[in-house]
Copies of this chain bind each other. A is one copy, B any other.
Amino acid sequence: MEPVAERRPRKDAARNREAVLAAADDLFAHCESPEAVTMADIAAAAGVGKATLFRGFGDRTGLIHALYEARLEPVRIAIEAGPPPLGPGTPPLQRVPALLDAVLCFKLDNRHLALALESAGSSDSPYRAAHYDRWHRTLQAVLEQIPGLTDNAFTAHALLAATRADLVEYLAGHEQVPRERLRAQLAAYTARLLGRSAARRC
């Protein structure tokens, strides 16, 4: 019944964990489709036995989640405690587009990962993932501060849906839309939605 002290892992275990994450990131980044990279591939690339993957991460989606969260952390911190326009203390009308732009940029920079995560099989809907919930709560909270809006929970979902990994991949990859153009379009879309809701009184 002690507080149990949470024994820290052995040194080699930690080293292996890092090796696996690095190898997985690399493989996902260099392969066409996320499901083209198998667990055995990752284990081999990391110079490690397959069981080590499963012991360390539970299963395939656990591994992907761990990778994703690791890459996401800087963004999370910037949102929770960073300077404007991302951090708190930014006026809502600027923070909403800033949040969405951050999400979009993250997905552009980590297309392979986001894709691997969101297409991980429908057994775990992307909407039940912790990071989605964080983003949704944050966005909704900011929307609440803008007067004249309703149904902010839905609105937040709908806005985030515009940054879905496979859509981003389709537009940036298949349709070759340049990064800056995509960002501009999302910004314009957001602006139109927030509209003259509190900006310019008629």
Instruction: Name A residues whose Cβ lies closer than 8 Å to a Cβ of B.
Output: 33-35, 115-116, 119, 121-123, 125-128, 150-151, 154-155, 157-158, 161-162, 164, 166-167, 169-171, 174, 182, 185-186, 188-189, 192-193, 195-197, 202
In terms of DSSP, what is the predominant structure of the interface of chain A? helix
Determine if A155 and B189 form an interchain contact, defined as CB atoms under 8 angstroms apart: yes
A150 contacts across to B, CB distance below 8 A: 188
- Given the interface contacts A34-B122, A170-B127, does A151 sit within 8 Å of B185 by beta carbon? yes
- Given the interface contacts A35-B122, A121-B119, does A157 sit within 8 Å of B166 by beta carbon? no
Determine if B171 and A157 form an interchain contact, defined as CB atoms under 8 angstroms apart: yes
Determine if B35 and A123 form an interchain contact, defined as CB atoms under 8 angstroms apart: yes
A169 contacts across to B, CB distance below 8 A: 125
Determine if A189 and B154 form an interchain contact, defined as CB atoms under 8 angstroms apart: yes
Picked from B122, B127, B164, B192, the residue with its CB within 8 Å of the CB of A174 is B127
Question: Nearest Cβ in chain B — how far from A41, in angstroms?
Answer: 16
Interface centre among A126, A127, A150, A171 (most CB of B within 10 A): A127
A126 contacts across to B, CB distance below 8 A: 166
Question: Nearest Cβ in chain B — how far from A92, in angstroms?
Answer: 16
- Given the interface contacts A161-B167, A162-B158, A185-B154, does A174 sit within 8 Å of B128 by beta carbon? yes
Question: Nearest Cβ in chain B — how far from A149, in angstroms?
Answer: 8
Question: Nearest Cβ in chain B — how far from A141, in angstroms?
Answer: 18
How far does the alpha carbon of A134 sit from the alpha carbon of B35 in the complex, in Å?
Answer: 27
Interface centre among A119, A122, A186 (most CB of B within 10 A): A122
How far does the alpha carbon of A151 sit from the alpha carbon of B189 in the complex, in Å?
Answer: 8
A185 contacts across to B, CB distance below 8 A: 151, 154
Q: In this complex, what residue of B is CB-closest to A119?
A: B122
Determine if A157 and B151 form an interchain contact, defined as CB atoms under 8 angstroms apart: no
